[in-house]
Amino acid sequence: MLHDGDGQIISVRSLAYNMRIQDIAHHLNARLEPHDIDLDIHGVATIDEATAQDITFLTNAKYLPKIKTSAAGAIIVSETFAADGLTMPLVRVAYPDLAFAQAIELFHPQSRPQADIHPTAVLGQEVKLGQNVFIGPYVVIGDRVTIGDNVVIHAHCAIYDDAAIGADSIIHSHVALREAVKVGARVIIHNGTVIGADGFRFVPLQDGSFHKVPQPGTVVLEDDVEVQAISAIDRATLGVTRIGRGSKIDDLVQVGHNSTIGQHALLCGQVGLAGSTEIGNHVVLAGKVGASGHLTIGDGAMAGAGSGIVQSVAPGTQVSGYPAIEHRLWLKIVATIKQLPDIAKRLRKLEKRLGAETHESVD
């Protein structure tokens, strides 16, 4: 896989094999134009970087002018794309974004280590292992841990007592799963993430010190959740901190104790949720959104980058700003803020003129 200086994928090429364009179209459930084209494809690339042996893609209309100068051998487009004057073979699909991801998977399949338990791994008592499990170097697994079939646990992970990991999950290096944490099937947890550390809750005392509130609760990650690198999901004080099925959590995200995230929600980088935040299904929180806790963000709501949510958000609402308000109103406020220096200048002139007129009337 090659990247440009901004981290954008330039191309994904397989050194192992090529594929006929007809086979790619069949795999993507696509309609090929012309249907009888004979072409070998070596990889996936952007419009700018593609060669005659690459397939490229168009998912954003702003790149439309570049297509006619692209050297790509073929292009993934929508079913309704107007190909006026374009001679390049077309791979027509219902969802180009999805087809692009599937095409990368064809040429860059994810490898999986073969089943093995490294001799440096330490397993506690009454550990239950499924079939075809990989446990890497220096992994430490506590007592009474349950690990499902086809689970991969990479090096230097710590799995505390009574934790459970569902089938086909992947735990990357330096992850910590604390005591009694439950991880569902097909979950991916990336490097350095901590699931189930104590929630941040202390009682202030009269002498100015703090008394720690015990955190005997746990965390449940439901099936198909993905948590990316160096994130933290705190265990509940009592009960469960829950991440719903299919939700995706970006790098450097903090989920406070007793919070609940619904199904298929997206939490982008540096989102922070204080304790007892309740997030519905299909919610999107952009980067650096913060929620003050003990509030609800309804199904389908969206919060713009940097928003500070201090009160509950109704389902389907788009909010932005600090404190977060309705998105369109926030845009108007931002537009007004840009005009404030000019408004202040005009106001000073007006005050000066009114002051002069008042002085003349007194005289």
Long-range pairs of 171-178 with CB within 8 A, sequence gap ≥ 24? 172/229, 173/136, 178/219, 178/235
Q: Measure the CA–CA gap between 262 and 301, rounded to whole angstroms.
A: 12
Tokens 């309704």 correspond to what residue?
80
Q: In residues, how long is the chain?
A: 363
Strand-pair partners of 98: none
Q: Measure the CA–CA gap between 51 and 348, rounded to whole angstroms.
A: 62
Q: Measure the CA–CA gap between 34 and 279, rounded to whole angstroms.
A: 47
Q: The tokens of 177 are what?
A: 């799963």
Q: For residue 86, which phi and psi values (nearest 5 degrees)?
A: -95, 125
Return the exposure string of 205-231: e unless at least 16 CB atoms fall within 10 Å of the residue's CB, then b.
Answer: eeeeeeeeeebebbbbbbbbbbbbbeb
Annotated catalytic sites, by residue?
257
Tokens 């809750």 correspond to what residue?
201
Q: Using alpha carbons, select from 106, 64, 122, 116 the residue that is nearest to residue 88.
A: 64
